[in-house]
Structure 1
Amino acid sequence: MKVYTKTGDEGQTSLLSRERVSKDHVRVDAYGTVDEANAAMGLAKALTGQDWAAALIDRIQTELIALNADLATDAAASGQEPRIAKSHVAGLEAIIDSLEEKRIPQRYFVNSGGTPAAAALDLARTVVRRAERRAVTLLRSGEVSRPVLLYLNRLSDLLFVLARRLEQEAIIAAATRQVMAALPGGNFILQQEENTMLAKAKQMMAAAEEKAREIGVPVVIAVVDEGGNLVAQQRMDGALLASISLSLDKAYSALALKMSTEEAAALAVPGESLFGLNTANGGRLIVFGGGLPIVKNGQVIGGIGVSGGSVEQDIAVARAGMAVY
């Protein structure tokens, strides 16, 4: 199917009802303006570099597609229930409240352009305001549902708050880098969050938890750094309390021995080189499966431990966590 259809060459287009209207019809103008805002939000999503913000923008973009379908439909004439409801408006209000809780109040007029992503969000906000004005015209003639108008109004507020929140985070990050650079050994630069051990640990635990849910066993997952210090640990609902210490000890054992606890188990039986290993170090060294060393560029930099299921299940969950590292 060709992109160009030639059906609009006479200055007309079709609504969802297939009614032909002029391309400057107020309804077409309204959903076309929302489309502009959606594109500007897409630019912000590409620029933000923040996964949580990109996911939020993507969710709203999906809702705007439904909103545009409402704008392209005469609900009264079609008898169709609007796609955007009051619950969508309440959802935006909840997001605004959440963003405001973490935003430093500003008592002055804000000029756009603090960051590229915030500038794109401010652009989207002004376009949404224009779309809202078009929707008011439609509402006056009864050709649009009220939740659509309310949604556009709340969306412009949300985009403003989101832009300020992203600017605030950029300012804090820049200030932190300057402070750390001024400290002794001032060439130290904080790692980007996605490159920290904690961020990696969270990713590993999420993948491990997904595997545990897949096989239907609640577990405890622990990750330690190269010094054997706990980086992160999480216990799924229903996991054994004993698994809290066992998962940590498995992670530590894999790091200390530079091998999986499954391998250690094979070497700790009578007649093998590590027989009696489980009695060393106060009994902390674990010699059954579920612990894996974390290796980067050939160096062991940590360990992951899983406890809660059978040995085979713990090994499978730990391997799932390692697969994302």
Structure 2
Amino acid sequence: MSRIYTKTGDQGITSLLGGKRVRKDNLQVDTYGSIDEASSALGLAYSFCQVTKLKAITREIQQKLIKVAAEIAQGDGEISSLVVRTTEEDVKKLEKYIDEIEEIKPQQEGFIFSGETSSAAAFDLARSIVRRAERRILSLGEEISLNSHLPKYLNRLSDLLFVMARLDEFENIVKKVTLEVMRTMTTFYDNLLLKKAKELAQAAEDHAEKINVPMVISAVDVNGNLVLFHRMDNSLLASIDISVNKAYTAAAVRMPTHKLGELSQPGNPLYGIETTNKGRMVIFGGGYPLYEKEKFIGGLGISGGTVEEDMEVAETAIKSLS
């Protein structure tokens, strides 16, 4: 089994790509070492980043930086057939990404402090390392012959990493705002559902008393969680579970339970659905989805009489609030 350590560099000497031995603090080694650092920082950014577009660009940059490091690690004046040289097209590709991101992110105002997100901070770290590599390569160009596109590529790369960090921060803000709006709206509709469920329960009880059938009335939210449970005196014990599950079913499939019953008959698309969801699916009438201005907010379940009586009470209650 090969070992990671070779001991050949224990005296502070390493090899360039062509085999030439130099000190590890050699400017050429320092330069491609900075490129390696930048790639590592990008790996950190990739692991934190949740923006698909940025992750894809990051991986592409890392792959290119391997080639850039190899190009710098060549000996003076060497042009190895194994090394892919950086071209003007590589620079233009970075500019294309910059332009695309600039179209998405908001205009920058004032000085930027890094650290709004872990991934943006890592992109900024990579950018600062690339800037160092850019300075090193300018000095190195005074000592050996280098591809003239390399400084331009690194300069443009630092610009790209800057806007990538800003886009990551912007996407994070959008996500936070979206979640807050959703939380606020969910709270609003939850409160609205409870209010509506209480009104439905009262209307259902009034009609149940009118036809002299004690009922159990249940309401659930969009996730099937119980919001209201109302049991009239002398209602059947079995109706407790049935009422709750009718409400759950109506919310789960977003249709009245008697409609689901029709679709679950032998030969129909939902045949056997009553055996799913741990047996909670009810396929006879008395369960109805609830809406507020066409927005789905939960389910209502009524049980206590015949299927027809349950449906009559539920529909009368719903109509009374429409």
Establish whether TM, by shorter chain, passes 0.5: yes
SS in 2 for 1:7: coil
SS in 2 for 1:145: coil
Structure 2 residue aligned with 1:86: 88
Equivalent residues in 2 for 1:5-154 (5 A)?
A: 5-74=6-75, 76-78=77-79, 83-154=85-156
Q: Is the 8 A contact 1:82 1:145 kept in 2?
A: no
Q: Is the 8 A contact 1:71 1:144 kept in 2?
A: yes
Equivalent residues in 2 for 1:235-254 (5 A)?
A: none
Distance across 2 between alignment mates of 1:257 and 1:183: 33
Unaligned runs of 5+ in 1: 189-225, 229-255, 260-266, 268-272, 275-284, 286-291, 300-325
1:44 maps to amino acid = A
Distance across 1 between alignment mates of 2:22 and 2:173: 48
1:112 maps to amino acid = S
Q: Is the 8 A contact 1:135 1:149 kept in 2?
A: yes
Structure 2 residue aligned with 1:310: none
Q: Is the 8 A contact 2:74 2:80 kept in 1?
A: no
Distance across 2 between alignment mates of 1:298 and 1:87: 57
Q: Is the 8 A contact 1:34 1:131 kept in 2?
A: yes
Equivalent residues in 2 for 1:183-222 (5 A)?
A: 183=185, 185-186=187-188
Q: Deviations over 1:45-72 (max 9, x none)?
A: 0001223221210111000000000010
SS in 2 for 1:77: coil
Distance across 1 between alignment mates of 2:39 and 2:67: 12
Q: Is the 8 A contact 1:85 1:147 kept in 2?
A: yes
SS in 2 for 1:13: strand
What is the aligned-residue RMSD (CA, Å)? 3.1
Q: Residues 5, 184 of structure 1: CA spacing in aligned structure 2 closer, same or farther, 3 A cutoff?
A: closer
Distance across 1 between alignment mates of 2:114 and 2:85: 33
2:110 maps to amino acid = Y
Q: How many angstroms does 1:185 deviate by? A: 3.0
SS in 1 for 2:181: helix
SS in 2 for 1:143: coil
Q: Is the 8 A contact 1:118 1:164 kept in 2?
A: yes
Q: Is the 8 A contact 1:30 1:131 kept in 2?
A: yes
Structure 2 residue aligned with 1:279: none
Distance across 2 between alignment mates of 1:148 and 1:187: 57
Q: Is the 8 A contact 1:27 1:71 kept in 2?
A: yes
Distance across 1 between alignment mates of 2:75 and 2:276: 64
Structure index of larger Rg: 2
- TM, length-normalised to structure 2: 0.58
1:110 maps to amino acid = I
Equivalenced residue count is 206
- TM, length-normalised to structure 1: 0.57
SS in 2 for 1:104: coil
Distance across 2 between alignment mates of 1:51 and 1:185: 30
Q: Does 1:177 find its partner at 2:179?
A: yes
Q: How many angstroms does 1:141 deviate by? A: 2.9
Q: How many angstroms does 1:92 deviate by? A: 0.6
SS in 1 for 2:9: coil
Distance across 2 between alignment mates of 1:77 and 1:121: 32
Distance across 1 between alignment mates of 2:264 and 2:61: 46
Q: How many angstroms does 1:177 deviate by? A: 2.0
Distance across 2 between alignment mates of 1:50 and 1:148: 28
Q: Percent identity?
A: 40
